[in-house]
Amino acid sequence: PIRYGGFEKEFAHPVLAAFRCYNNYDDYFTDEERQIARASYFGLCSFVDDQIGQVLRKLEALGRDKDTDVIYCSDHGDLNGDHGLWTKMTMHEESAGIPMILKGPTTKQGVVDAPVSLIDIGMTALESVGLGGETGQHAQSLHKSAITPDPDRAVFSEYHDGGSITGFFMVRYGKWKYIHYPGFAPQLFDLENDPGEMNDLGLTDAHASIRESCYKKMVCDPEAVNELAFADQAALIEELGGVEAILNDPGFDHTPVEGAET
């Protein structure tokens, strides 16, 4: 079958193996269906591009393109079959890397390679209307990133939802992506020389200092946050009547249609 990246090697990691078991879509695709699914996703991207174009052309027609900042982004990407995975929810670039496009009267054209974050949107909006500065404790204006990008800035992401047997904590720092899994081995990727994230450096002796440096750049204590997340989940399960009660609820994992018994 068609694989879009190191299937067997990647799922040797126990956290990703468990995730794939929880989100096992790929085994149910034929080669033709994988191609259709990927093409359909790219078609949706083209549709969104057209919608954005309509908004920008309308702003220009109204004469508001000279005083309006437009930010386009997404909350996540989509693996779309890469790494043998579908949907989102891992720290691979296909999932964690998102579109972040800024257009405005003072925005210069070009691509900025330095990492930015969704938390930068609030700072950018405040600056655009004259109510904020360029930087905060962790966020910074996208205008600042576009003019003077900081290649050494560290950005952070975490995940505690479906398919996770432990928390996922990720730091992007320079060319490095470090992923910390409490209770399990970490992962480290050199995105400059390994953009496909095929060569996991999470256990190599030669990269121990890099992993330590990346770990220190986290904005939280991942072990403490992980314990808190599991405690909150356990409390909510108890509040809802236990695991069996949740699994037997007609509304489990979806929104019931109108008129359905709950």
Q: What is the pLDDT of residue 89?
A: 92
> Which residue's entry shows tokens 């496909």?
196
pLDDT value of position 257: 62
C-alpha span between 32 and 179 (Å, rounded): 33
pLDDT at 137 over 80: no
CB 92 within 8 Å of CB 172: no
* pLDDT tens per residue, range 20-60: 888 889 888 898 999 999 999 999 999 999 999 999 999 99
Report pLDDT for 148.
84
For the chain, the maximum distance between any two Cα atoms, rounded to a whole number of angstroms, is: 60
Is the model's pTM score more than 0.95? Answer: no
Q: Is the pLDDT of residue 186 over 90?
A: yes
Least confident of 101-110, 118-127, 158-167: 101-110
Residue 83 has pLDDT above 50, yes or no: yes
Question: Which H helix or E strand runs over 14?
Answer: helix 14-22
Q: Print burial letters for 20-53: b (CB count within 10 Å at least 16), e (below 16).
A: beebeebeebeeeebeeebeeeeeeeeeeeeeee
Confidence of residue 254 (pLDDT cuts 50, 70, 90): low
Q: What is the mean pLDDT of the chain?
A: 89
Q: Are 103 and 69 in contact (CB under 8 A)?
A: yes
Amino acid at 57: R
- Stronger pLDDT, 9 or 141, i.e. the higher one: 141
Task: Give me the percent of the chain exceeding a pLDDT of 70.
Answer: 93
Determine the pLDDT at residue 218: 94
Query: Cα(171)–Cα(168) distance, rounded to whole angstroms?
Result: 10
Q: 179 and 187 in contact (C-beta within 8 Å)?
A: yes
With b for 16 or more beta-carbon neighbours within 10 A and e for fewer, the 68-99 pattern comes to bbeebeeebbbbbbbbbbbebbbbbbbbbbee
> Which residues contact residue 176 at a Cβ distance below 8 angstroms, ignoring those fewer than 6 apart?
188, 189, 190, 191, 210, 214
Q: What percent of the chain has pLDDT over 90?
A: 61
H helix intervals, 24-78? 31-61
Angle at 131 between CA 125 and CA 134, to 5 degrees: 65
pLDDT (0 to 100) of residue 1: 36
pLDDT at 84: 87
